[in-house]
Amino acid sequence: MLGKWLTNQTVNIVDSVNDWKEAIQLCAAPLLKNKAITPNYIDAIFQLHESIGPYYVLAPGIAMPHARPEQGVNQLGLSMLLVKQGVKFNSEDNDPVYLITLLAASDSTSHIDMLTQLATLFGNTDDMQTIFNAQHSDQILSVINRY
């Protein structure tokens, strides 16, 4: 199921980024390109982060930035960025973050199956280690395609 959303076009790996904002912008780029989101969606994530903190850092090394559907989502979408050297999101217990998965939900229900599969993936230590150690997006996709 995740393989429908996470593909060679939406999964990327970079060595490093300057900061958390750059990480989110790089992760969001494929969803901007395919018009799943508008630039307003990224701005909304930044504004939420500034006002309430890194609410989307879920666990050590894992972040899932998202905002409300009406803040710039055109259609359901998902993208993933692995930052090999990690990036600080100012999440005391979970920094540095290595895997950013940007979620664009077009309504309050259509993404529930996607979240269930992501939660299963994030809970599998071996698969997450394979993703964290990936050198190429194909290595990430080989794990993703099992979910």
- The residues that are catalytic are 66
Nearest-CA neighbor of 34 among 65, 2, 74? Answer: 74
Find out whether 66 and 56 touch, Cβ atoms under 8 Å.
yes
**Contacting residues for 4 by C-beta, under 8 A, at least 6 apart:** none
For residues 116 and 2, what is the distance between their CA atoms, to the nearest angstrom? 10
